[in-house]
Amino acid sequence: MYALFNLPDFSEPLIKQFLLQGASIFNRAGFTHIRDMTSSLTQWKINLEFLERPDFLLHVEHWFVCEEVKNINSLIETIKNCKSQENPWMKIRGIKVFVDGSLGSNTACLSHHYTGLNHSGQMIFDGADFKNILREAWKNRLQVAAHAIGDEASHKVINWAREVYAEGIQGYLHLEHAEILRPETIQNMKSLHVRCHL
């Protein structure tokens, strides 16, 4: 996952090509509404430009990625500036955070070791940093989507959210993928505004 954040950004012409191809694929399959979970300022601007095109027919919910906690305040300012350009076809919902890895690469954070391996995955954010992101996002009325695949990652995210709620700061939290959830994690969600996406 750390390698992903160090890759160079795609060029604008390539992003435009990807977005047009993606819109065409979704429209042919009957989809008219998508959640863009790895958006950026560049993508937002291109999507606004595409609203003038007859071949781009998608309602897009944008989620801007926060790669490091030190970027949270500048990211929120960027989002605030973009929100003035929202329209019925283009919305900004909030901030996406990659909390753990994936099951396929044995990096999703589990409560037990992977079979035949001497580790249980990894967390990309610690509690202090993730809670800071929650605080700043929720204070600014932005939702937070956490890529949390492993059961331990989801459990930690929910408990961190409960700690921020206890401070009197509340907002919406989305668990992206929610592939493995423990019963006690689901129980701890009851007092929170949580949406699980499968």
Q: What tens digit of pLDDT does each residue of 59-76 get?
A: 999 999 999 999 999 999
Q: What tens digit of pLDDT does each residue of 21-37 get?
A: 999 999 999 999 999 99
pLDDT at 5 over 90: no
Per-residue burial over 99-124, b if 16 or more Cβ lie within 10 Å, else e, is bbbbbeebbbbbeeeeeeeeebbbbb
Report the amino acid identity of residue 144: V
Task: Name which residue leads in pLDDT, 7 or 108.
Answer: 108
Q: What tens digit of pLDDT does each residue of 133-188 get?
A: 999 999 999 999 999 999 999 999 999 999 999 999 999 999 999 888 999 999 99
Cα 157 to Cα 3, 11, 56, 103: the distances in Å are 22, 33, 36, 17
Return mean pLDDT, the chain.
Answer: 94
Find where tokens 């509690």 sit. 127
**Percent of residues, the chain, with pLDDT higher than 90:** 88
- Give the residues across from 124 on adjacent strands: none
